[in-house]
Amino acid sequence: MRDTYDITIIDTGYVRPGLCAAYLVVENGRAALIDCGTASCAQRVLDAIDAAGVAREAVDWLLVTHVHLDHAGAAGPLIQALPNARLVVHPRGAPHMIDPTRLIAGAKAVYGEVAFARDHGGMLPVPEERVVVADDGHVVDLAGRALLCVDTPGHARHHYSVWDARSRSWFAGDTFGLSYREFDNGNGAFILPTTSPVQFDPQQLHDSIDRLLAQSPASIHVAHYGEVGECERLAADLHAQIDAMVAIARAAQGHDDRHARIVDGLAALYTWRAREHGIDDAAVRVREILDGDIELNAQGLGIWLDRDAK
């Protein structure tokens, strides 16, 4: 469904419906795709481009906010299928799109071989001549519509966010946290940060969230999942939870069962916040919807603790 700013959300189908979005932005008959799911999602994304009435030849740009595979894994097959598209990627991510060997190894370490094979479907290299490196402030020209790439580390050092002045909106990848529509209620959206492995940095993430807010956005498109308004309230929620998550991790440091303690602490934190948000069966809903994210956040916090201790 295309909105007033010619932005279409695409459900990449990664793991479950409503988990992982890509966005198609159309201007003067030309298109840019922002994020694209894993390699397993490539056909679904192509089908959605077709369904939006956009010719494959009309896609000029594929922007990946960062090179985690649920955002960039499909870039290889999509660059093959979209003959005029060029891949726009953060300077720290570009080498890994051209040679994905280390990304694949990293994803297998995080998700395990079985889940990697099931949900990721490998990865293809992107030819170097189709890659455009987006330094901070890089502007992608989509048929006259400027898409500004702004360095936003904290979730990952290879992360930029995309400012679309026309819609006064960000495409923030994972920098502005996770906000699943299942938690929407009369109090609005529910949000939590993602600290998934391996480059979480709390101070950088605080600073990047402030950088997004400085534009006074009308809305923010997050990858997991969809468009959120009320940016100031949600930013405050994210800041508070980053601090709470860091405190949970620090309290678990030095214990043999550190990971289990972080998992339990995060589950309790999100349950409490979901209850505050007005969700009645908060404990059940958090377990149903956030189980995978709690595991990834706990892994990422553990890796950050080990790095911080050095």
Interface with Zn ion (CB under 5 A): 68, 174
CB of 54 to Zn ion, least distance (A): 26
In what side-by-side order are the strands of the sheet with 219-222? 138-142, 145-151, 160-164, 169-173, 219-222, 226-228
Whether 200 and 154 have beta carbons less than 8 Å apart is answered as: yes
CB of 224 to Zn ion, least distance (A): 9
Closest residue (Cβ) to Zn ion?
A: 68
Give CA–CA dist 249/228, Å, rounded: 28
Nearer to Zn ion, 30 or 68 (CB): 68
Give CA–CA dist 206/155, Å, rounded: 10
Strand partners, 141: 146
Nearer to Zn ion, 156 or 252 (CB): 156
Whether 227 and 9 have beta carbons less than 8 Å apart is answered as: yes
Give CA–CA dist 106/9, Å, rounded: 28
CB of 155 to Zn ion, least distance (A): 6
Nearer to Zn ion, 195 or 271 (CB): 195
CB of 293 to Zn ion, least distance (A): 11
CB of 73 to Zn ion, least distance (A): 11
Tokens of 111: 């998700």
Answer left, alpha or beta for residue 225, where phi above 0 means left and psi between -120 and 50 means alpha.
beta
Nearer to Zn ion, 68 or 92 (CB): 68
Nearer to Zn ion, 2 or 108 (CB): 108
Nearer to Zn ion, 27 or 174 (CB): 174
Whether 99 and 123 have beta carbons less than 8 Å apart is answered as: no
CB of 194 to Zn ion, least distance (A): 6
